[in-house]
């Protein structure tokens, strides 16, 4: 691995949220270990998704909701790379930028966090009418499908804000990503890890995606030290699946990916917002053909009516 002698200070872009900073500081520390002669500085900024907290995510629009400002910083050469939760990074990146590497994945599952009064309950035993908070249409659609007797309410804000709303009694339970809770040292708040049979996770969930300028050889050489090949294959398959369906992070598309030996198995799902329509299928193939597996799965779900479900959802979002 060679890095130009001119590369002495590398500026890392990050959102200001606690979780984003924990993730970015981890990347900074890992890079510093591998390249002790280089200075790695963190530059923070607020994104549109951080600023608009009183509107459901789906109604704001999802094109770079948590990434655009970081991307502008790289294009204007104010920063050299940006650390994202990969699930927030659009599958089509702005011209001049690329996904430089994918880090090793944390458990990508969704997790149930309950109010104290329901500490003896899980999803399947919560009483009828219990109010569940989530800002994800993907989680909403799947949980409505399996638990139509529960009530669902939008919840926004960073992770600490959502937990505070739960503890204040605004919700009986909320659904969060296992990875975020674990990285913030809050695994003790996880009441139930939701199995993939109930809720397929978001594309890229649990992994970090590090974005940089396309063709920036020095930065790409640095990022090779953080690349986790198995996670990258899984996430490339998932992102190809999402991109082919033309779905953003705010549509009910879920995935689960497993690698055994040289074989990659991708499960994908598209569901209607009310949970009544749901199409799901599986494709297995060579790990080296990860993106082709994602494209094939998207085509299979289209044949089963996925596009009609997505079109109806987007039309409903536009009307609202």
On the 0-12 / 13-18 / 19+ scale of CB atoms within 10 A, 35 is middle
Is the CB of residue 23 less than 8 Å from the CB of residue 7?
Answer: no
d(CA 179, CA 107): 6
- Cα dist. 312→153, 233, 272, 274, 303 in Å? 21, 31, 8, 12, 16
Phi and psi dihedrals of 98, rounded to 5?
-150, 165
Is the CB of residue 110 less than 8 Å from the CB of residue 178?
Answer: yes
d(CA 282, CA 273): 22
- Which tokens sit at 206? 């649990």
Q: Name residues whose C-beta falls within 8 Å of residue 185's C-beta, 6 or more positions apart in sequence.
A: none
Question: Does the active-site annotation cover 88?
Answer: yes
Out of 62, 88, 216, 281, pick the active-site residue: 88
**Parallel/antiparallel/unpaired status of strands 81-85 and 9-15:** parallel
* Residue matched to tokens 């044949």: 303
Alpha carbon dihedral 65, 111, 99, 23, in 10-degree steps, equals 90
Three-state helix/strand/coil letters over 103-169:
CCCCCCCEEEEECHHHCCCCHHHCCCCCEEECCCHHHHHHHHHHCCCCEEECCCCCHHHHHHHHHCC
Show which residues are catalytic.
Answer: 88
């Amino acid at each position: 691995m060679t890095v130009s002698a001119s590369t002495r200070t590398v500026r890392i872009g990050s959102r200001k949220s606690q979780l984003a900073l924990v993730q970015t500081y981890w990347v900074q520390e890992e890079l510093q270990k591998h390249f002790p002669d280089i200075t790695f500085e963190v530059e923070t900024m607020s994104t549109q998704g951080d600023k608009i907290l009183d509107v459901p995510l789906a109604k704001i629009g999802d094109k770079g909701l948590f990434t655009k400002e970081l991307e502008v910083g790289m294009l204007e050469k104010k920063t050299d790379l940006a650390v994202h939760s990969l699930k927030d990074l659009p599958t089509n990146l702005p011209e001049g930028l690329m996904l430089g590497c994918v880090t090793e994945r944390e458990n990508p599952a969704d997790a149930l966090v309950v109010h104290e009064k329901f500490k003896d309950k899980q999803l399947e035993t919560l009483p009828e009418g219990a109010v569940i908070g989530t800002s994800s249409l993907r989680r909403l659609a799947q949980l409505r499908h399996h638990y139509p007797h529960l009530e669902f309410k939008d919840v926004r804000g960073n992770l600490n804000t959502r937990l505070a709303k739960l503890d204040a009694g605004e919700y009986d339970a909320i659904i969060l990503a296992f990875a975020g809770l674990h990285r913030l040292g809050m695994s003790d708040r996880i009441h139930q890890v939701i199995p993939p049979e109930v809720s397929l996770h978001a594309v890229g969930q649990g992994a970090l995606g590090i974005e940089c300028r396309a063709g920036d050889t020095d930065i790409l050489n640095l990022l090779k030290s953080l690349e986790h090949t198995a996670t990258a294959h899984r996430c490339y398959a998932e992102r190809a699946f999402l991109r082919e369906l033309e779905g953003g992070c705010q549509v009910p598309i879920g995935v689960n990916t497993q690698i055994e030996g040289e074989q990659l198995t991708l499960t994908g799902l598209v569901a209607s917002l009310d949970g009544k329509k749901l199409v799901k299928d599986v494709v297995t193939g060579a790990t080296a053909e990860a993106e082709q597996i994602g494209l094939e799965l998207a085509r299979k779900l289209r044949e089963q009516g996925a596009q009609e479900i997505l079109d109806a959802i987007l039309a409903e979002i536009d009307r609202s």
